Amino acid sequence: MGFFGRLRTRRARERYMPLPRRIRSGTTALIAMAVIVVTLTISLVLDWRSDPGNEAVLAWVEANATDPIRLIDRATRSRTVLLLGDVIGAAGPKRLAATLIDTLGLAGRLEAVALEVPADQQTWIDLYLETDPEDTSVLLTHPRTIREGEGAEQSLLPIYRAVWRVNHVLGANRRIRIVAVDPAEWPPAPGFSPARALTTFAQRDSVMHAILRTRILDRNPRARVLVFVDGLHVINAEARAAAGGIAPVQIRFLAARLADSGVLPYSVLVDASRGAGANPPVTGYRAGPLHGMIRGRLAIPQNGLALPVAESNLSTGWFASPERPGLDFQVLFPAPTLDGRIDAWVFLN
């Protein structure tokens, strides 16, 4: 091949077979890091899926899962107080509570609904229940009654409306009451110091218990009550909370206080995904790892999936820690299983 032939061949190679693009060292490092992260993620997922403990729990879930409404309806025939857990910023638990109000209320098995609402809002709640036709503006103009800060879809309004509808069917002599059981100082107003907020948070279960006793249970020890509160309050246990510069505080949850006073509630913990930007002032219950595993492996029905916890030996390790940045919050379970701590666990999408 002559000189001109070699020149044409070289130009053809440059045109149709360009040299590989040079990659800067910084780009190479980023690509390598991304590969490592992806590899580790895949490894963790494979380890999680192959964990025989997880597979055994999933098998138990599939064998014992049932409809939440049927399970709670059956259990509350012998238990007069139902503790139903809420998740701040989640709409699903509110819909579940409203459905239970319809089911139990129309069956004549519900006399009061206790809500995590400041007690100083009771006047507006009573006024709303007396409206005919229904006038929700009474509540909407007093947003603390419905916890408007959680967002329109996650507020308590569906629960109020369910009680109003059932009362409209039952008539005046069988009406369901709504009782606000939270301290008037909760949630904390702007300007609350962290120490004051934590102290008030620690006192809430005591206040809730006192209001339930004086306004409902002391008057009628057999009153059938649905208590709809954050999931932490439905656990028969204690907790310890501490924050920087603040002395640790001890908390005895509402379920434990009721048991201490001779009332054996039926406690239902509810797991559901929080809405975007929904955060409780100090802390609150949030869905744990079991919720994520069930959602990832099983199809949760529209009404949810319920599990009876009694004698299940379900580990407390499936319970999500309520800790937040700057807050050390430990639920003090007396044993490594949830037996005796809750009665049922409901999982919602």
CB 92 within 8 A of CB 346: no
pLDDT of residue 42: 41
pLDDT tens for the 349 residues of the chain, in order: 554 455 455 554 555 444 444 444 455 555 555 545 444 444 444 444 446 679 999 999 999 999 999 999 999 999 999 999 999 999 999 999 999 999 999 999 999 999 999 999 999 999 999 999 999 999 999 999 999 888 777 899 999 999 999 999 998 889 999 999 999 999 998 888 888 999 999 999 999 999 999 999 999 999 999 999 999 999 999 999 999 878 899 999 999 999 999 999 999 999 999 877 677 889 999 999 999 999 999 999 999 999 999 889 999 999 998 988 889 999 999 999 999 999 999 999 9
324 burial via Cβ count (<10 Å: 0-12, 13-18, 19+): middle
Which H or E run includes 229? Answer: strand 225-230
pLDDT of residue 265: 97
Cα–Cα distances in angstroms (integers) from residue 222 to residues 77, 111, 228, 325, in the given order: 12, 10, 18, 42
pLDDT of residue 8: 54
Would you kindly state where each structural domain of the chain is located, as residue ranges? Answer: 22-53, 65-347
Question: What CATH number was assigned to the domain covering residues 65-347?
Answer: 3.40.50
pLDDT of residue 50: 45
Measure the CA–CA gap between 59 and 164, rounded to whole angstroms: 41
Residues linked to residue 118 through DSSP beta bridges, in sequence order: 182
Q: 3-state class of 221 per DSSP?
A: coil
pLDDT of residue 37: 46
pLDDT of residue 68: 98
Maximum CA pair distance of the chain? 112
pLDDT of residue 25: 46
CB 228 within 8 A of CB 346: no
Q: 3-state class of 342 per DSSP?
A: strand
Prediction pTM value: 0.85
